[in-house]
């Protein structure tokens, strides 16, 4: 629906920040035959598209008065990709009510799939988009800012005068508001079919578009070949009265899915209890959030209330990508961590949409509100906890009362707008299990009354299953349009998985602390013991020989690149990022070249010296490590030269960006080089591992979209991300990550060095057990 595409950031998310403001155009006196189609140049982004044609559909403002005033509806046809398209196009019916359709480029996955065989027609319904007259309400442009900046004032009280001003302006322009209904809209669709000369059309509706499609099927069934109904809003339901029950159901689905998910239940147990606890906390004491309103370039202090919290969770359930964050968001609020919820609200307030609020209220106040009473809504709400009653939302009693502003003299509803639609037109009904506003049960009820229909429900999806990019519902829907006489294959639904809930770094921080202490302790202890042993027999190191054998080309190359960075005009942040990548790679490759048993001609001689054999890789690796430290310090000094004065904390931060990954990749390099025993394999293997980490390391970040089964491992892997950026997580999490990354490198170095205590293994590789046993007995 988007009966709520609207935005009221975590409070009453229904007003949208940016609303197009075309001049009000009055309905025109009838001139010529209607309906008729008048070609015009395509608007906006479609103007230069050669695969689109556009025009105005001229229809009566009131189809009951065909000789009366006319209105102009914008139509854009995206031509089929096939040279011989099918004779029955797909007509796209958008939601809202009040959303326009013209402006889409027809290039999304589902649109291009439709266009493989058919033309796709976008219709700006009456009062919306580019159609004339527009029932847009520019008076409501700054409503979100108004509501957010005055949380102590009921939203309905703020909306009332603005809505009245919009209504008065439209009426004074001669617009007949009661003519902007689903029945009139359906007559427009039939007029479109006639004007364009199609024997039949296929309807594709989403949200409110499904109600419109059902109305067309009811009133003009002969012209409809098939109908795809995505997230059904049927006429017979009671939107206002059923709101608490819908909220309770959709919240329960969220809580149940989290409980059934291994990681979600482990890190966010008893989510329902946590949700109710947060609601109770906010009911007693709202929390202050520092919000930024981009459209107004303004920062405000917003107090998040209990009802605002519930409305926000409800709104997030529209989008399957947002659903993933809800458990962590709820727990973050419970534990007093406001960073995530503040970011979520700021992101929400940046949404904009050209919703025609005049069309919205004309439809809702003539077809929905008259069939509910305040007493009925109050009686139903009492059956649910306060957190589920949706106070202040667009489905609340306060918003219902705004219909008295839109139609102050009242309106006589058409009883058919509250009755079940029955039809034998082939119909495919799609539903998302998390849909908060058009719950799956509405789709099932609709299917029961359509004799030639198929109902399918998709796991992990919310409101509008086709538009979220999932291929399965798109393929099913297009197959149905191609062959409405048979049930489409739905095997792909079995391959879909539920929501992959995001487990944040904050939830896994105890694990990170334990891991950093364990690895850090092992690495630190090993370094101390090794340093002590090396110092006591420091004359046993072959420093001069090692220095001559170490290949310095990678380090010299890195130093040259860093010097070039200093004099180039690249952005400072890009320079630092390049240096962060180059230093660890260069030193790791140098370490890989330092010890390769098969290709080291001095190995046998040095290994027979009266000293521990494991000193060999230690002294070879120590020189690149020292060079790495010098290079990192040099890079930090260059950073100071690039950005000017730098606080001590920032200087240390730069060292943390370079030294830990240098240690990690050096440890990997030493391990790979000695295990493969070949210089080329050691360097190549190290370089491949480094490249993979540099390119794909982002997949280790909590919440980054990933795939099964990596999504179950992702929450535990961020501590190993070598190129984690300081701003991607909190400073505490970043420090834990640096400790683990550095410790992994040190532990790998110590591990491979311990494997080299056997001289025969070092020189000959994997020798047999009998030979190993005899080798310790001596000769003679």
User: Model confidence over 408-440: pLDDT tens digits?
Assistant: 998 999 999 999 999 999 999 999 999 999 999
Q: Which of 17-26, 157-166, 574-583, 675-684 has the lowest mean pLDDT?
A: 17-26
Is 328 within a domain? no
Q: Output the CA torsion sign for 273, 278, 281, 282.
A: negative
Mind giving me the DSSP string for 649-670? HHHHHHHHHHHHHHHHHHHHHH
- How many angstroms separate the Cα of 524 from the Cα of each of 19, 162, 252, 529? 60, 67, 49, 9
No. of helices (H) and no. of strands (E), the chain? 30, 11
Residues 546 and 469 in one domain: no
What percentage of the chain's residues is helix, strand, coil (to nearest 5)?
Answer: 55, 10, 35
Distance CA 62, CA 615 (A): 93
Residues 68 and 109 in one domain: yes
pLDDT tens digit string along 63-119? 999 999 999 999 999 999 999 999 999 999 999 899 999 988 878 888 999 999 999
Burial of 601 (0-12, 13-18, 19+ CB in 10 A): exposed
Q: How buried is 730 (Cβ within 10 angstroms: 0-12 exposed, 13-18 middle, 19+ buried)?
A: middle
Question: What integer pLDDT is reported at residue 106 of this predicted model?
Answer: 78
C-beta separation of 159 from 398 below 8 A:
no
Query: Contact at 8 Å (CB) between 740 and 746?
Result: no
Sorted by sequence, the CB contacts under 8 Å of residue 314 that are 6+ apart come out as: 247, 250, 251, 390, 393, 436
Q: The tokens of 291 are what?
A: 């919000």
Which CATH number does the domain housing residue 129 bear? 3.40.50.1820
- Would you say residue 393 lies in a domain? no
489 and 593 both lie in a single domain: no
pLDDT band of 1, cuts 50, 70, 90: very low
- Token readout for 258 is 């989290």
Alpha-carbon separation of residue 341 from 250, 333, 658, 701 (angstroms) = 20, 7, 32, 18
Per-residue pLDDT reduced to its tens digit, 514-525: 999 998 898 888
Mean pLDDT, the chain, integer:
82
Both 549 and 474 in one domain: the answer is: no
Is 80 exceeded by the pLDDT of residue 571? no
Summarize pLDDT for 731-765 with one digit per residue, the tens: 889 999 999 999 998 888 888 777 665 555 555 55
Query: Can you give the residue range of the structural domain that contains 708?
Result: 519-532+540-774
Q: Report if residue 270 sits inside a domain.
A: no
Taking the CA atoms of 98, 102, 105 and 106 in sequence, report the sign of the dihedral they define.
positive
- Assess if residue 580 is contained within a domain: yes
Same domain flag for 650 and 713: yes
Distance CA 191, CA 180 (A): 15
Q: Residues 487, 598: one domain?
A: no
How many domains does the chain divide into?
2
Q: CB 359: neighbour CB atoms within 10 A?
A: 29
Phi, psi of 507 (to 5 degrees): -70, -35
Residue 6 to residue 141: CA distance in whole angstroms: 12
At residue 632, the 3 state secondary structure works out as: helix
Same domain, 686 and 570: yes
Residue 556's pLDDT band (cuts 50, 70, 90): confident
Q: For helices 572-592 and 615-643, what crossing angle results, to 10°?
A: 170
């Amino acid at each position: 629906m988007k009966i709520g595409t609207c935005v009221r950031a975590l409070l009453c998310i229904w007003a949208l920040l940016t609303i197009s403001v075309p001049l009000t155009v009055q309905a025109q006196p009838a001139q010529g035959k209607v309906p008729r189609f008048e070609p015009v140049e395509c608007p906006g982004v479609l103007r230069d598209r050669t695969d689109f044609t556009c025009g105005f559909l001229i229809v009566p403002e009131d189809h009951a008065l065909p000789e009366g005033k006319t209105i102009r509806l914008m139509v854009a046809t995206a031509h089929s990709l096939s040279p011989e398209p099918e004779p029955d196009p797909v007509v796209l019916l958008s939601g809202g009510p009040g959303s326009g359709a013209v402006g889409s480029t027809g290039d999304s996955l589902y649109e291009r799939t439709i266009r493989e065989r058919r033309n796709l027609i976008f219709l700006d319904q009456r009062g919306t988009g580019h159609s004339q007259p527009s029932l847009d309400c520019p008076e409501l442009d700054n409503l979100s800012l108004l509501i957010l900046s005055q949380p102590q004032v009921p939203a309905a009280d703020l909306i009332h005068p603005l809505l009245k001003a919009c209504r008065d302006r439209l009426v004074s322009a001669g617009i007949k508001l009661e003519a902007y209904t689903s029945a009139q809209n359906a007559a427009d669709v039939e007029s479109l079919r006639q004007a364009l000369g199609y024997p039949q059309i296929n309807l594709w509706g989403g949200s409110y578009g499904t109600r419109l499609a059902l109305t067309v099927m009811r009133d003009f069934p002969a012209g409809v070949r098939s109908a795809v109904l995505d997230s059904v809003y049927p006429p017979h339901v009671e939107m206002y009265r059923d709101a608490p029950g819908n909220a309770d159901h959709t919240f329960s689905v969220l809580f149940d899915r989290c409980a059934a998910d291994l990681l979600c239940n482990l890190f966010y147990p008893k989510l329902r209890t946590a949700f109710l606890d947060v609601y109770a906390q906010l009911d007693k004491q709202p929390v202050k959030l520092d919000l930024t309103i981009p459209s107004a370039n303004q920062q405000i202090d917003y107090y998040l209330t209990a009802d605002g919290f519930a409305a926000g969770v409800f709104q997030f359930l529209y989008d399957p990508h947002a659903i993933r964050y809800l458990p962590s968001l709820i727990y973050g609020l419970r534990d007093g961590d406001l960073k995530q919820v503040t970011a979520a609200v700021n992101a929400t307030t940046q949404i904009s949409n050209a919703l025609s609020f005049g069309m919205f209220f004309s439809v809702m106040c003539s077809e929905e509100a008259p069939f509910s009473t305040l007493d009925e809504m109050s009686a139903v709400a009492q059956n649910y906890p306060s957190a589920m009653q949706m106070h202040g939302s667009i489905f609340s009693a306060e918003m219902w009362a705004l219909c008295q502003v839109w139609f102050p003299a009242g309106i006589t509803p058409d009883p058919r707008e509250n009755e079940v639609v029955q039809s034998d037109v082939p119909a495919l009904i799609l539903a998302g299990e998390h849909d908060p506003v058009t719950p799956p049960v509405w789709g099932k009820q609709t299917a029961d009354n359509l004799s030639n229909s198929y109902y399918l429900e998709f796991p992990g999806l919310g409101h509008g299953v086709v538009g979220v990019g999932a291929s399965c519902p798109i393929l099913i829907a297009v197959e149905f349009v191609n062959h409405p006489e048979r049930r489409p294959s739905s095997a792909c639904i079995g391959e879909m998985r539920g929501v992959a809930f995001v487990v944040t770094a904050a939830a896994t921080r105890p694990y990170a602390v334990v891991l950093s202490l364990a690895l850090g302790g092992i690495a630190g202890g090993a370094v101390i013991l090794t340093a002590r042993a090396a110092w006591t027999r420091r004359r046993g190191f072959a420093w001069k020989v090692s220095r001559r054998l170490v290949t310095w080309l990678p380090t010299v190359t890195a130093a040259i690149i860093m010097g070039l960075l200093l004099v180039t005009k690249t952005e400072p942040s890009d320079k630092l990022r390049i240096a962060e990548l180059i230093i660890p790679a260069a030193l790791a490759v140098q370490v890989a070249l330092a010890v390769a048993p098969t290709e080291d001609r001095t190995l046998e001689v040095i290994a027979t010296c009266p000293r521990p054999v494991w000193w060999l890789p230690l002294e070879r690796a120590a020189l690149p490590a020292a060079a790495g430290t010098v290079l990192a310090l040099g890079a930090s000094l260059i950073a100071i030269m690039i950005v000017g004065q730098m606080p001590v904390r920032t200087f240390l931060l730069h060292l943390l960006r370079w030294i830990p990954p240098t240690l990690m990749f050096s440890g990997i390099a030493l391990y790979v080089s000695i295990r493969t025993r070949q210089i080329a394999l050691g360097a190549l293997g190290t370089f491949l591992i480094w490249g993979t980490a540099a390119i794909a390391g982002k997949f280790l970040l909590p919440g980054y979209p990933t795939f099964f089964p990596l999504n179950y491992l992702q929450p535990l892997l961020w501590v190993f991300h070598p190129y984690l950026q300081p701003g991607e997580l909190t400073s505490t999490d970043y420090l834990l990550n640096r400790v683990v990354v550095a410790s992994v490198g040190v532990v790998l170095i110590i591990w491979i060095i311990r494997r080299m205590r056997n001289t025969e293994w070092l020189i000959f590789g994997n020798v047999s057990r009998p030979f190993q046993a005899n080798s310790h007995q001596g000769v003679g």
